[in-house]
């Protein structure tokens, strides 16, 4: 059996877990290639106009994979950690895809809801494997190996690598004395080189070390998130605000860039809270970049150059 995993949305967070689980059960796993113009166009024409850019990109990847896989793996992500939720669009993703009116292979969509107990994700995977004919023991063993692989991946991100660095086996050259910029966004915006218009590459080429929220320990994020006047229950939003709050308070970076998707409800709230924090601390240059399917290189480069000039001018003064 060949199972397809679209290279989009939380692929950038959980791919090692998903890949290893299915491979341990002996399935062939096929993922779509990095996003390109054709994939984006396919997604834009298949998705409803109101969808955010990452969801449109996801549709493109699913359609690209469709002829090459017997199943598509599209989990219904409800909650990744107790007390939090993922964005509603990710919860409804399998249904949106099934009703997109396109010819797709069957969609396998376990419900992953950490609010249902500490073993909720594991049990969801085991149940899904049972539907495909695998025994519980076999699935439990596959789960353990997959969790260990995911932990190794998370540790590498903690060492300062991006998912792309990890997949390319890049050396850790980013721990030098170069000035650091904090770049905050959802992983599927930031680590998709096509969607982010090569933002990380461009910053590194200008000589900056790029820090992302994924590089901070979960403990630090939780402590910072606890300082918010009201608990934020979106886990990706907590990650962004936690990392932003930490660096605004402690310094250690020369500026902050927040990348948001046009049409993203959670981003509009998180972006506003982050900007307020940045104004309150008032120490660091802050840039908000909004991405949609029409965003072109030119506009982004102009804004980025202006921002970096300001960062450098402040550093020199
Ligand atoms: S959090 Fe925002 S960008 Fe991500 S899927 Fe939800 S609406 Fe789209």
127 and 183 belong to one structural domain: no
pLDDT of residue 240 exceeding 70: yes
Nearest CA to ligand 1 atom 3: 264
89 and 219 belong to one structural domain: no
190 and 116 belong to one structural domain: no
162, part of any domain: no
Probe ligand 1: pick from 47, 85, 89, max atoms within 8 Å of CB?
A: 89
The boundaries of the domain holding residue 20 are 2-157
Q: How far is the CA of 58 from the centre of ligand 1 (A)?
A: 11
**Given this model, what pLDDT does residue 176 score?**
59
Distances (CA, A) of 120 to 72, 112, 115, 132, 232: 21, 7, 8, 19, 22
185 and 151 belong to one structural domain: no
Encode pLDDT of 31-48 as tens digits: 999 999 999 999 999 988
**Given this model, what pLDDT does residue 196 score?**
94
Which range has the worst mean pLDDT, 71-80, 100-109, 287-296? Answer: 287-296
The domain boundary, picked from 128, 157, 186, lies at: 157
178 and 277 belong to one structural domain: yes
How many residues does this entry show for the chain? Answer: 317
Nearest CA to ligand 1 atom 7: 264
258, part of any domain: yes
Q: Percentage of the chain with pLDDT > 90?
A: 66
Q: How far is the CA of 201 from the centre of ligand 1 (A)?
A: 23
Encode pLDDT of 109-163 as tens digits: 999 999 999 899 999 999 999 999 999 999 999 999 999 999 999 999 888 888 8
The domain boundary, picked from 127, 157, 187, lies at: 157
186 and 129 belong to one structural domain: no
- Band (258; pLDDT cuts 50, 70, 90): very high
Q: How far is the CA of 273 from the centre of ligand 1 (A)?
A: 17
304 and 254 belong to one structural domain: yes
Give me the sign of the Cα torsion angle 270, 275, 280, 286: positive
**Given this model, what pLDDT does residue 77 score?**
94
Q: What is the mean pLDDT of residues 67-75?
A: 95
Contacting residues for 163 by C-beta, under 8 A, at least 6 apart? 12, 15, 153, 157, 187, 191
18 and 141 belong to one structural domain: yes
Q: How far is the CA of 115 from the centre of ligand 1 (A)?
A: 20
Atom of ligand 1 at shortest range from CA of 87: 6
3-state helix/strand/coil string of the chain: CEEEECCCCCHHHHHHHHHHHHHHCCCEEEECCCCCHHHHHHHHHHCCCCCCHHHHHHHHHHHHHHHHCCEEECCEEEECCCCCECCHHHHCHHHHHHCCCCCCCCEECCEEEHHHCCCHHHHHHHHHHHHCCCCHHHHHHHHHHHHHHHHHHHHHHHCCCCHHHHHHCCCCCCCCCCCEEEEECCHHHHCCCCCCCCHHHHHHHCCCEEECHHHCCHHHHHHHHCCCCCCCCEHHHHHHHHHHHHHHHHCCCCEEEEEEECCCHHHHHHHHHHHHHHHHHCCCCEEEEEECCCCCHHHHHHHHHHHHHHHHHHHHC
Encode pLDDT of 169-187 as tens digits: 766 555 556 889 999 999 9
Q: How far is the CA of 263 from the centre of ligand 1 (A)?
A: 8
**Given this model, what pLDDT does residue 293 score?**
81
Please indicate, yes or no, whether the overall pTM of this predicted structure exceeds 0.85.
yes
Probe ligand 1: pick from 8, 54, 196, 262, max atoms within 8 Å of CB?
A: 54
27, part of any domain: yes
Per the model's pLDDT, the better-predicted residue between 177 and 223 turns out to be: 223
**Given this model, what pLDDT does residue 300 score?**
87
CATH number of the domain enclosing 235: 3.40.50
Q: How far is the CA of 311 from the centre of ligand 1 (A)?
A: 29
The domain boundary, picked from 157, 187, 211, lies at: 157
Which range has the worst mean pLDDT, 18-22, 100-104, 135-139, 265-269? Answer: 100-104
Encode pLDDT of 280-304 as tens digits: 887 789 999 998 887 778 888 899 9
Atom of ligand 1 at shortest range from CA of 88: 6
Q: What is the mean pLDDT of residues 199-223?
A: 92
Mean pLDDT, rounded, of the chain: 90
Distances (CA, A) of 107 to 11, 22, 91, 128, 210: 16, 15, 14, 11, 36
Nearest CA to ligand 1 atom 2: 264
Q: How far is the CA of 214 from the centre of ligand 1 (A)?
A: 17
68 and 32 belong to one structural domain: yes
13 and 143 belong to one structural domain: yes
28, part of any domain: yes
Q: How far is the CA of 287 from the centre of ligand 1 (A)?
A: 20
193, part of any domain: yes
Number of independent structural domains in the chain: 2
117 and 72 belong to one structural domain: yes
72 and 123 belong to one structural domain: yes
120, part of any domain: yes
Nearest CA to ligand 1 atom 5: 89
164, part of any domain: no
Ligand 1 lining (C-beta closer than 6 Å): 52, 54-55, 87, 89-90, 186, 236, 261, 264-267
Atom of ligand 1 at shortest range from CA of 236: 1
**Given this model, what pLDDT does residue 316 score?**
58
């Amino acid at each position: 059996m060949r199972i397809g995993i679209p290279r989009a949305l939380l692929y950038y967070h959980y791919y090692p877990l998903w890949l290893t689980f299915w491979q341990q059960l002996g399935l062939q796993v096929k993922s779509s290639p990095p996003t390109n113009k054709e994939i984006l166009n396919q997604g834009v024409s298949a998705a409803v106009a109101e969808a955010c850019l990452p969801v449109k990109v996801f549709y493109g990847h699913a359609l690209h994979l469709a002829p090459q896989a017997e199943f598509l793996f599209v989990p219904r992500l409800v909650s990744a950690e107790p007390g939090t939720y993922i964005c509603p669009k990710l919860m409804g993703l399998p249904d949106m895809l099934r009703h997109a009116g396109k010819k797709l292979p069957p969609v396998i969509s376990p419900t992953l809801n950490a609010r249902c107990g500490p073993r909720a994700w594991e049990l969801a995977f085991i149940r899904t494997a049972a539907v495909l004919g695998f025994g519980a023991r076999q699935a439990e063993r596959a789960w353990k190996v997959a969790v260990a692989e995911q932990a190794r991946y998370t540790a590498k991100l903690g060492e300062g690598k991006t998912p792309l660095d990890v997949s390319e086996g890049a050396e850790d050259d980013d721990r030098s004395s170069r000035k650091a910029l904090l770049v905050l966004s959802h992983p599927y915006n930031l680590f998709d080189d096509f969607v982010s218009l090569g933002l990380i590459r461009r910053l590194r080429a200008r000589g900056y070390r790029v820090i992302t929220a994924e590089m901070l320990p979960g403990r630090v994020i939780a402590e910072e998130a606890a300082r918010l006047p009201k608990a934020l229950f979106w886990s990706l939003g907590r990650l962004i605000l936690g990392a932003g709050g930490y660096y605004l308070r402690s310094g250690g970076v020369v500026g902050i860039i927040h990348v948001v998707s046009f049409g993203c409800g959670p981003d509009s709230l998180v972006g506003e809270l982050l900007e307020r924090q940045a104004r309150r601390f008032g120490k660091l240059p802050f840039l908000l970049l909004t991405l949609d399917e029409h965003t072109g290189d030119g506009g982004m480069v102009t804004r980025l150059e202006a921002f970096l000039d300001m960062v450098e001018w402040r550093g020199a003064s």
